Amino acid sequence: MSHIDVPKLNTNISYVSKDSYGMLAEAPEADHAVIFVHGFGGDPFKTWAHMQDLIRSDDNWKGTDAFFVGYDSIREDVMLSARYVARIISQICPKPTVSLFRADVRGTNFQLRPDGTSYKSVDLVGHSLGGVVLRQAVLLLLREGLDAGGSPHLAKIPSSYSAPCSARVLLFAPAQSGARIAGLAGVLSNILGFEQLVKILRGGSPSFQELEPGSPVLQALRDETTYLAEMYPTLRSLRARIAWAHTDRIVTSLDFRHDTSFTILDTRHLSVCKPSHGFRAPFIFVNTGTLTPKDGAL
C-alpha cells in the first residue's frame, strides 16, 4: 500500500464537505500535494473514479499526497465556493496541521509523520465548475499574498502564500466560458431528484445561473486572470493547462489567452476526467500537464 486513506478531512480542515478525503503517501519525505475539486453536482470520489486506483499503483506518486475536496457546488454561488476552496488550499499548503497525519489503520492509531509535512509544490486539479472555482481561488490567494507582502512584487509574497500562488493548475473541461444550461440540466436529471432539479431551474442555485455564457462572474474571471498573467508572466497558476472533452455538450471549449490546451479523443464532459487502466489519458495529464497523440489526444 503506497497511500493511507484519511476518510474525513473535515476533522482537520475547515469548510470541506463530510465526504472529502485524503490519500497520504507512506513515504516520510512526501513534499508534493495535489488537490482535486469536482464540478457542479459532482462528488469528491465519483468525479475522479479510478484516479485513486492509479495513484496507488504508480511509483511516481510515492512522494505525493492527494486531497479530494468537496464543497456545496449547487447551493453556494461561485465566489463563496472560491473563498471556501481558497481557505482549504491555504490550510493544506504549504504546511497542513500535524493532526492530519494521525492515521488509523486496521484499528491501530499511529503518527504517519511525527514532524508533519511542508509541501514544496502543489497542483490544483478541477473539473467543470471546479475549474472556475479554482481559478477564482487562485486570484483570491494572489491578492491576499500581495496585500500581505505590501508590494506588487512577487518576491514580497509571504511564504505561506507562495506555494498556492505558484501552483500548477490543471483543468478538465472547465466551465470558464460558460455552460450550455439545457445540456447541464440534462446531465443533472440523471444525478438529482426531480424536485431538486426543478428548484435549480427556477433559480434555486446561484452557481447554475452564474455559469451562463457572458455572466459577469465569468467575464470578470477572464479579464482579471488575463491581466495578471500579463503582469506576472512567470506565475504559472494564472496559465492553466486544460484537457477538453472531444464531444462536450455542456461547456464551451474556449481557453483564456495564456492557457495551454489539449483535447482527449472519445470523451464527453463527464468522462474526460475519469481514467482507467485501459484509458490513462486523464491520469497522464494530471501527472505531466501535457498530452500527445500517443496518449489519445489532439
186: left (phi over 0), alpha (psi -120 to 50) or beta: alpha
Chunked mean pLDDT (size 10), the chain, 298 residues: 85 91 88 96 93 94 95 92 96 89 62 83 97 98 95 92 92 94 68 64 75 93 98 96 95 96 96 94 97 94
Would you say the C-alpha torsion 257, 81, 41, 34 has a positive or negative sign? positive
Provide the pLDDT for residue 112.
80
Tell me which residue has cell 497523440.
293
Provide the pLDDT for residue 257.
97
Provide the pLDDT for residue 98.
85
Which run of H or of E encompasses 230? Answer: helix 216-231
Domain range list for the chain: 3-295
Provide the pLDDT for residue 1.
57
Alpha helix (H) residue ranges in 45-193: 51-57, 78-92, 129-149, 159-165, 181-188
For residues 52 and 45, is the Cβ–Cβ distance under 8 A? yes
For residues 36 and 125, is the Cβ–Cβ distance under 8 A? yes
Largest interatomic CA distance in the chain: 53
Burial 78-103 (b: 16+ CB within 10 A, else e): bbbbbbbbbbbbbbbbbebeeebbbb
Residue 18 has a CB neighbour count (10 Å cut-off) of 12
Tell me which residue has cell 475547515.
14
C-alpha cell at position 60:
511516481
Nearest CA-CA partner of 16 in 57, 73, 54, 98: 73
C-alpha cell at position 112:
504517519
According to CATH, the topology of domain 3-295 is Rossmann fold (3.40.50)
Q: Which contacts of 150-158 are long-range, i.e. CB under 8 A and separated by 24 or more positions?
A: 154/232, 154/234, 154/235
Q: What is d(CA 52, CA 64) in angstroms, rounded to the nearest whole number?
A: 12
